[in-house]
Structure 1
């Protein structure tokens, strides 16, 4: 019989699949998409996913056998495997890296090397002293891991010592696979087998005549089972549900179990909960929305992606709901992608009221168990017809995808920056739609330059909503010249008189205010007023951000933290002062200026917990907060009825960064946050503070002229060879030694230029040239859209391989970022 082999995807950043032989015992159960356990390296076990089966033994190495097959059915579909392969090829990473990003942690097994003490070992006289520390630890504990052994022995490299102890027979090794996902179980109560007939049950009831609480509880149990017949058939009732129905019933339950009236069983329960409310009908559309819906359908019939460009509060979400309803009525699935977890909080409640338990939510703040259960539901044709989620939702195993909605399609949060794969979920969704022959709708009030270009050139079908729902006017935007106000000494800290006047008026009218500052922390940095010394991170070439609430300096690149110094590190002067301002400082100062106002802050520091977003948004929605201070999180698609005023505190910071997308991002953020004002009942106001009121982008924001901004900016993109006219590939070269890095990056730049010429820019140091103790160099490659992407990437990879294969540079890292944001 011909030997069978399987190509396995393993979670390692190596540019190939690994071939293993299939033992006869697994011949019938090994199939693409199933997880298997294999040995990788000398003693390491790994779980991987079968990619393909074949009869070809590899020539380069002897195959090992698959050790175990973990699944009876596929965990990853064929469509998903094909998508993984495409993502790896397009974004210049490995399929193993895609596997690590795609599969929930709960479905990935981890190999844990455990060390045990051999109770019968013979004494050895020449052991190093630190060996006894490990032996004594193992004598007092059942086992320890290799990481723990390093701690116990205080050795950076504990492997030689462990190897010595194993060879001496003192320590035993057991390599075990541990699964991080465990089904959630609860205690349930069931009628004891000895009472599962009517006569026996009747007699048991009669025996409880002198125990009224037990009798009450047993009657409630039978009722919750659905009647006597169901109870006799073995219907279970969750213990907590029964106790919730009978006050003080815990003692009675214990007695009934003791008397063998009820028995206890552990049952698997759903982590995701269920919807108990009333399903609402979809709302009727306005005439403008009906027209837009007809145009969207026309675009779908042409087989094109549709770009819905609708001003803020124009009713785009209502159109999405109608399209989802149409899709699931045909038995197909819908994916609703959002850029931020914060947005899922509001949208979930809105969609749940229409789709109930058909809606599944999927994002990284869910526990492993919750994400695994959504994944498994999608595999087994379960209850979810609609998935609402962030970028990782594209990896779910959809059965029959009929519609993808990418809301806020312009948002850079759809791009994963680190680690690989550095994919853009919007662009991957476009590919998924093409492969699955499903409809895709990109919606936004401020389209990305690339998407609008594709719509204008006919690649996408363009639909526009130019007015707000129910005729609400767009907010009135007032520009305040902060430079002039500072010259006249009218500014109160970072607030202009006009902004403070309108905040006062809004609070008097019981209305709400949003203040936008796109920098978290208290101040960007501290500075010595004597010698201008600035505290910097010891691991990164960047100043430390001051966080006043914790009296700490924090590096926002690596997370390094130190307590605030009282004296200058250079001259010893105590004259340290804060420079600039972040959301913490805005929050503190606004509380001083408006002591009666209830102030909340939405930034990364206040939303770390799984419920952080939800609590803040819920409090603001209910009117429990008067003023919300926030970073870019508050700009995106949130819908608050009572917000009448938005203050943009520092527009200049968004327009002056060294990035070709700075104007686009600045316009988008200012337009989006302005759209939070006056969404219901009355026209809102926006105060935009800037030192350059005549800046072209500011003028386009004030007049809400996206088309004008596009025409102004697209000419620059073409002139300087940026997207959408060219594709970009960014290479980041890293090493701990600056000299080695410079030599390697210079060589890499030269070999790239030998084939790509002036398409290659660099190498050069980025603005932050050291992060986490690694020095950095950047190389930017601009490639015409007419060039073959695959051939270009093959050439780039060959240049990278040629560089890092040389002995002096073998530890240099080169990270490719395709379509960088």
Structure 2
């Protein structure tokens, strides 16, 4: 048999695949897409992925052998690898970067240095730092990272090396499996008991062990032993549930060979065993939209459905999924933040039951592996594998074998963009590529589409379907613009509420209706300040002020997590006159309690939804009318549908509109429109109060008129003039280093090299709004690319210049992040 070589991808930021010899015992089993353990470098071992196999080996290289074959069958499919290659090329990253992003943590293995004692420490002299390291190793602190974490500044690699040189400690490389199948103890009759007569004899033999006898009777009643052709089994948990029988009593029956216990693999994922609901009937507007979508699909067009809030887009999605499933194909339903879409999750599970899998970051690594395997299982066993996946952006990596439909709901959402680490992909764009590679239909949906998608639809690149009527003909909410400046001057403010918003909230609450307030800033106060000397506490690692969180009584950085206790007095001048400035969601909650006594107020932001089930609890309380007022950040704008919300307040629209970004007006319109859509969705016309210091601002007027097309046209004129998407492509380069002078020099060199090209418009380098994050200084360079230029050539030119800058000795430790199509 000729020798076989495997080209593998390592989960490291490396461009190349690496070649390893395949041992003869695995040559007939190994396939692309399987995981293998390989040694890379002197001691490290990794779970690599087989990219391809060949009989040709690189010349004059001593190749290492694969250490272990981890899978019987591939964990990813050929079309997955094609997507990975496309992503690495388009987003200017490595296949290793894509590998790390794509596979669940539980399927990625890496060896770790484990330190143990040799027993050779008798009568050897050691220093104080060596002694402290030795004491921690005796307490089973057994990796260099854990030792460094425990000792902090007292940690010394020299002391660790000294203990190694003296043969007091030894270091081994060990690979631990991150995924372990979950198993439970199950119980059945022992095989020696072959008839009811045998069972009765065993029961009589337990006359002196009454508890064991009672448990045996309970087992028979629970399982109906000998009443079916196959002997029944029951889980130990189910058998003992609600009884006073202990595990020791059960173990006694096992030892007497009356019952037999065994381990059985079980899923960590809850399955929907309830009766499936029927599809809802579509109204005439939804039926027309559905027919238009199908026509676009027949013409192989990616299709954008522009449906106003509460127009019933979700029901159209469900009908399309149902048709896809009837064809025996899989469907992917992408949502911007899966944890925020409890209602859609429940609706899909009610209709499609156990065919639906949910995939998102709130699942633990073990659960994510199980979802991955169930999607993969569809290829060999469609009845057992997942046919529908409802997921966040990482779901585009799942191993679909027969994909027929991809839906991207709320396609305008920024949450679909991966910012760090690489690959910095946009899930909406990857969904389109995924659809084309799998010959699957792709549907984008939004009440406020991204301007790029809407432009593509108008230009005929995408199909365009409009849904302009709300379900049940409920009117769009009335938009009321409230002047903050005038209210402050006239002293009419009720804390953070203008008289218009306060009055409408009172009326709604008196009528047992609900209110949602939107403030896009969490915490109690954006910052605190000494009113004597002007001191403002800043983060030690980032160039931002610390946010005050009253509940924790701490000041925190929302970039790196740095946190300090709230100081009782100013550390600069000693004054106790430290006061909060501005307001976040926590402060609003605090100040509304005396304004609306007896009303139940809840808050939805990152601080209150950290736990796995917190969001579901908040939604349930609002749905069941246990909450009167909900205060939230962007979370309240997404995927929520409540019957009794009649008033929505946007507390400070100016923060959204006056942000220094070319997409600021687009995002402000989208956010305010989306949160406005939460009002009056079923019975009555809702009211939305937009609080602003600039009521005459043109965008505020467009929001009041709810004129998406006019807002789009205004922005398109500006974007064409100033060379922004969709007319020009953008690539953002971020140069990073821990020394500002190094960042200055390297960024300047790179910008000068890029500016040599007359075809490119190069802006910068400039420090961004937050120029230091986690001790790293940042400088940005923006490259605008004319649509007529070959994008691949431009990227090659950029990467060549980055390589040259980084090759200079003075810049060797600089990092340069490439962000293609920055959001």
In the superposition, the TM-score normalised over structure 2's length comes to 0.95
Judged with a 3 Å threshold, the aligned counterparts in structure 2 of structure 1 residues 168 and 722 are, in CA distance, closer, same or farther, namely same
> Alpha-carbon deviation of 1:574?
2.6
Distance 2:612 2:215 in 1: 37
Judged with a 3 Å threshold, the aligned counterparts in structure 2 of structure 1 residues 486 and 32 are, in CA distance, closer, same or farther, namely same
Distance 2:153 2:68 in 1: 34
- 1:131 is aligned to 2:130: yes
Partner of 2:234: 237
Contact 1:324/1:334 (<8 A) preserved:
yes
> Alpha-carbon deviation of 1:86?
1.1
Partner of 1:100: 100
> Alpha-carbon deviation of 1:570?
3.7
Judged with a 3 Å threshold, the aligned counterparts in structure 2 of structure 1 residues 634 and 167 are, in CA distance, closer, same or farther, namely same
Corresponding residue to 2:725 among 723, 726, 731? 723
Corresponding residue to 1:349 among 346, 350, 353? 346
> Alpha-carbon deviation of 1:683?
1.1
Distance 1:128 1:254 in 2: 53
> Alpha-carbon deviation of 1:277?
1.5
Deviation per residue, 1:51-99 (Å, 9 max, x gap): 1112333358532221111111101111111111111111111111111
- For structure 2, the residue ranges without an aligned partner over 5 or more in a row are 379-383
Partner of 1:408: 410
Partner of 1:48: 48
> Alpha-carbon deviation of 1:551?
1.6
Partner of 2:58: 58
Deviation per residue, 1:223-247 (Å, 9 max, x gap): 554651658x554210121223656
Distance 1:687 1:152 in 2: 52
Partner of 1:269: 266
Matches within 5 A, 1:776-795: 776-795=778-797
SS at match of 2:110: strand
Partner of 2:323: 326
- 1:373 is aligned to 2:375: no
SS at match of 1:606: coil
Q: Which moved more, 1:297-306 or 1:169-178?
A: 169-178
Partner of 1:435: 437
> Alpha-carbon deviation of 1:359?
0.7
Partner of 1:187: 185
> Alpha-carbon deviation of 1:215?
5.6
> Alpha-carbon deviation of 1:435?
0.8
Distance 2:154 2:80 in 1: 40
Q: Which moved more, 1:357-366 or 1:548-557?
A: 548-557
Distance 2:799 2:813 in 1: 16
SS at match of 1:796: helix
> Alpha-carbon deviation of 1:32?
1.0
Corresponding residue to 1:284 among 281, 284, 309? 281
SS at match of 1:680: coil
Distance 2:150 2:284 in 1: 72
Q: Which moved more, 1:167-176 or 1:455-464?
A: 167-176
SS at match of 2:589: helix
Distance 1:228 1:796 in 2: 75
Distance 1:452 1:366 in 2: 33
Partner of 1:74: 74
Judged with a 3 Å threshold, the aligned counterparts in structure 2 of structure 1 residues 414 and 151 are, in CA distance, closer, same or farther, namely closer
Q: Which moved more, 1:301-310 or 1:201-210?
A: 201-210
Contact 1:217/1:249 (<8 A) preserved:
no
Corresponding residue to 2:678 among 664, 676, 679? 676
Deviation per residue, 1:231-280 (Å, 9 max, x gap): 8x554210121223656576764553354321222221111122132111
Q: Which moved more, 1:597-606 or 1:101-110?
A: 101-110
SS at match of 2:341: helix
Equivalent residue pairs, number: 818
Contact 2:38/2:66 (<8 A) preserved:
yes
Distance 1:569 1:302 in 2: 68
> Alpha-carbon deviation of 1:498?
1.5
Deviation per residue, 1:331-369 (Å, 9 max, x gap): 100111000133332211111110110110011101111
Partner of 2:84: 84
> Alpha-carbon deviation of 1:22?
1.7
> Alpha-carbon deviation of 1:30?
2.5
Distance 1:331 1:763 in 2: 53
Deviation per residue, 1:553-593 (Å, 9 max, x gap): 11111111111223334443332222211101111111121
Partner of 1:479: 481
Matches within 5 A, 1:513-528: 513-528=515-530
Contact 1:217/1:246 (<8 A) preserved:
no
Contact 2:341/2:638 (<8 A) preserved:
no
Distance 2:249 2:67 in 1: 50
> Alpha-carbon deviation of 1:379?
1.4
Distance 1:703 1:743 in 2: 49
Distance 1:646 1:79 in 2: 45
Judged with a 3 Å threshold, the aligned counterparts in structure 2 of structure 1 residues 756 and 111 are, in CA distance, closer, same or farther, namely farther
Deviation per residue, 1:709-767 (Å, 9 max, x gap): 11111111111111111111001111111111111110011111112555111111111
> Alpha-carbon deviation of 1:217?
4.4
> Alpha-carbon deviation of 1:533?
2.6
SS at match of 1:780: strand
Partner of 2:360: 363
Judged with a 3 Å threshold, the aligned counterparts in structure 2 of structure 1 residues 304 and 492 are, in CA distance, closer, same or farther, namely same
Contact 2:604/2:618 (<8 A) preserved:
yes
Contact 1:299/1:305 (<8 A) preserved:
yes
Matches within 5 A, 1:741-780: 741-755=743-757, 758-780=760-782
Deviation per residue, 1:534-568 (Å, 9 max, x gap): 22112111111111111211111111111122333
Distance 1:167 1:717 in 2: 65
Distance 1:122 1:306 in 2: 71
In the superposition, the TM-score normalised over structure 1's length comes to 0.96
- 1:196 is aligned to 2:194: yes
Deviation per residue, 1:161-215 (Å, 9 max, x gap): 4445445443333321101111111121111122134442243245467878756
Question: How large is the Cα RMSD of the aligned pairs?
Answer: 2.2
Deviation per residue, 1:780-821 (Å, 9 max, x gap): 001122221211111111111000100000001111111111
Distance 1:154 1:391 in 2: 37
- 1:111 is aligned to 2:111: yes
Partner of 1:643: 645
> Alpha-carbon deviation of 1:17?
1.8
Contact 1:311/1:468 (<8 A) preserved:
yes
Partner of 1:660: 662
